[in-house]
Structure 1
Amino acid sequence: MEKTDKRIPAARVARILGVSRDTAIRMIQRGDLKGDQTLTRWWATQQSVDRYLAQQQEAAAS
């Protein structure tokens, strides 16, 4: 992950995406979202969350 990428915690990712924290963590682990784990906390990049939301909106519009 690049230093310029703003990281957000998995709990916040979950609220943004409307999923559980566990689902947000699985999305990071699977690579659906770019992120990593620091000790016991999971993080995703704001850019990857924004990209995921845009893809979901695009798919819904199709």
Structure 2
Amino acid sequence: MSDISNAQPLSPPVVSPRVLWTAAGAVTTLLLLAYLVAFDQGAVSQSGMYLHELMHDGRHLLGVPCH
């Protein structure tokens, strides 16, 4: 029989702070982009109609109701 008394507990993997900050930045950027495309109805793009029309077309592309 095998001797399992020498088994050591597994430790959780160590994640570096750089990876955590990169992941948090990516998630924040994606959430901001999703807000702009899906829910913003021109409140952010007050400076011109180009950004508004781009986001409007993105809503149609993703199937999000906008009007």
| TM value normalised by structure 2 | 0.33
**Of the two structures, which has the highest relative contact order with CA contacts closer than 8 Å and spacing of 6 or more?**
1
TM-score, length basis structure 1: 0.35
Considering only CA atoms, is the larger Rg found in Structure 1 or Structure 2? 2
